Amino acid sequence: MKMPLTMTEMPREKLLDKGAQSLSDAELVAIFLRTGNRQQNVLELAHSTLRRFGSLKAMFQATLVDFQQISGIGNAKYVQIQACLELSRRYLAEQLAHQTNLHSSNATKQYLLAELKAETKEVFAVLLLNNQHQVIGFERLFFGTINAAAVYPRVIVEYVLKQHAAAVILCHNHPSGIAEPSVADKQITYQIERALALIDVNVLDHIIVAGHQCFSFAEHCLMSNEI
């Protein structure tokens, strides 16, 4: 006679039977937690943890101190969740490393989402490409307040020269969740394009990450060489 499944085994069995995409957020979190506490089984603890933080995004942004305040979740669970987040970033980065022609690649957007969507302050970064438009580096260069970042084209030129990049994709996040570019976003894009043109480096795109969505300057024909 087959033994009944435990609360921990239920999400695991569901994953094996129907795939990871079939699991709810709470079921996926329950697999990480493995066990509940004295008051809750593991699925109940997963649900209450998500409710406490409000979303998966907030849970991944939470600090170790935040996790230590939840009964049944301590250092080990925090480490596991952060390791999962970093593995997803590295997986997407590895995918990018084998891509060519990243001008409008969905893989590029997914990678930038993984890198920037959890940032609570504005970050301006540069994705560096070689002559075959393969990724050779990603660097956060400027950090701002909740709604602004000071961006200096000269610093970008110096960094691109140092890394011997042939092309770049600019990117930054909008913590407000609004993906549309501002007038300032457009102005700094054109300034950087002009500065990099002087050293024969092409700006393929400028991608804005806002929540779970991206806005591509190239796809909206907003790069200066497309206007």
Residue 3 belongs to some domain of the structure: no
- How much is the pLDDT for 96? 65
| d(C-alpha 55, C-alpha 20), whole Å | 19
What is the mean pLDDT of the segment spanning 141-167? 90
Q: What is the enclosing helix (H) or strand (E) of 137?
A: strand 135-143
| d(C-alpha 221, C-alpha 205), whole Å | 10
Strands of 123-129's sheet, edge to edge? 135-143, 123-129, 167-173, 202-210, 213-216
> Do 108 and 219 fall within a single domain?
yes
> Do 138 and 220 fall within a single domain?
yes
1: pLDDT strictly greater than 50 = no
- How much is the pLDDT for 4? 45
What is the mean pLDDT of the segment spanning 70-92? 81
7: pLDDT strictly greater than 70 = no
> Do 208 and 128 fall within a single domain?
yes
Tally of domains within the chain: 2
- How much is the pLDDT for 148? 73
- How much is the pLDDT for 164? 94
> Do 79 and 113 fall within a single domain?
no
Quote the pTM value: 0.67
> Do 106 and 216 fall within a single domain?
yes
Of the two residues 57 and 217, the one the predictor is more confident about is 217
Domain limits at 157? 102-226
- How much is the pLDDT for 214? 93
